Structure 1
Amino acid sequence: MLTALAGFALFALLVTVVPGPDTLLVLRNCVRGGRLPGIATAFGAAVGSLAWAVAAAVGLAAALQRWDAAFAVVRLAGAAYLVFLGAQALWAHRRGAAAAAKDGDGGAPAPAPTAFLAFRQGLLSCLLNPKVGIFFVAVVPQFLPDSRSALPMTLLFGVVDAAIAAGWLVLVSVFAARLLNWLRRPRVNTAMERTTGGVLVALGLGTAAETL
Structure 2
Amino acid sequence: MTTAMLGFALFSLLVTMAPGPDTLLVLRNCLRGGRRTGSATALGAAVGSLAWGVAAAFGLAAALQRWDAAFTVVRLAGAAYLVFLGAQALWAQRRAARAAAGPQEAYGAQEPAGRAPGLGEAFRQGLLSCLLNPKVGVFFVAVVPQFLPEGGSPLGATLLFGVVDAVIAAAWMLLVAVCAARMLTWLRRPRVHRNLERATGGVLVALGVGTAAESV
TM-score (normalizing by structure 1) = 0.98
Partner of 1:70: 70
Matching residue of 1:190 = 194
- Structure 1 residue aligned with 2:46: 46
Residue 183 of structure 1, CA deviation: 0.2
Alpha-carbon separation, structure 1, partners of 2:18 and 2:104: 37
Which residue of the other structure, out of 155, 160, 180, is the alignment partner of 2:164? 160
How many aligned positions are there?
A: 211
Aligned pair 1:87/2:79, yes or no?
no
Equivalent residue, structure 1, for 2:100: 100
Deviant stretches of 4+, over 6 Å: none
| Residue identity in the other structure for 2:35 | R
How much has 1:20 moved relative to structure 2?
Answer: 0.4
* Alignment partner, residue 127 of structure 1: 131
| SS of aligned partner of 1:112 | coil
Segments of 5+ residues of structure 2 without an aligned counterpart are none
1:114-155: CA deviation from partner (whole Å, max 9, x where unpaired): 111110000000000000000000000000011211111100
Aligned: 1:140 with 2:117: no
How far has the Cα of 1:52 moved from its partner? 0.3
Deviations 1:185-208 (A, max 9, x none): 000000000000000000000000
C-alpha deviations, 1:53-73, integer Å up to 9, x for none? 011011110000000000000
For 1:91 and 1:98, the matched residues in 2 are separated by 11
- Alignment of 1:111 onto 2:115: yes
Looking at structure 2, the residues matched to 121 and 143 of structure 1 have their Cα atoms a distance apart, in angstroms, of: 31
Distance 1:76 1:157 in 2: 27
Does residue 211 of the first structure (1) align with residue 210 of the second (2)? Answer: no
Cross-structure match for 1:11 = 11
Question: Given the alignment of the two structures, is residue 173 of structure 1 paired with residue 177 of structure 2, yes or no?
Answer: yes
Moved more, 92-101 or 104-113: 104-113
- Superposition TM-score, scaled by structure 2 size: 0.96
Q: Distance in 2 between matches of 1:64 and 1:93?
A: 37
Take 1:6 and 1:49, find their aligned partners in 2: how far apart are those partners?
Answer: 18
Task: Mark the runs of 5 or more structure 1 residues left unpaired by the alignment.
Answer: none
Distance in 2 of aligned mates of 1:138 and 1:79? 22
Distance in 2 of aligned mates of 1:37 and 1:19: 19
Distance, in Å, in 2 between the alignment partners of 1:104 and 1:119 is 35
Q: Shift in Å at residue 167 of structure 1?
A: 0.1
- What secondary structure, in the 3-state scheme, does the structure 2 residue paired with 1:209 have? helix
Distance 1:158 1:34 in 2: 29
Report sequence identity in percent: 75
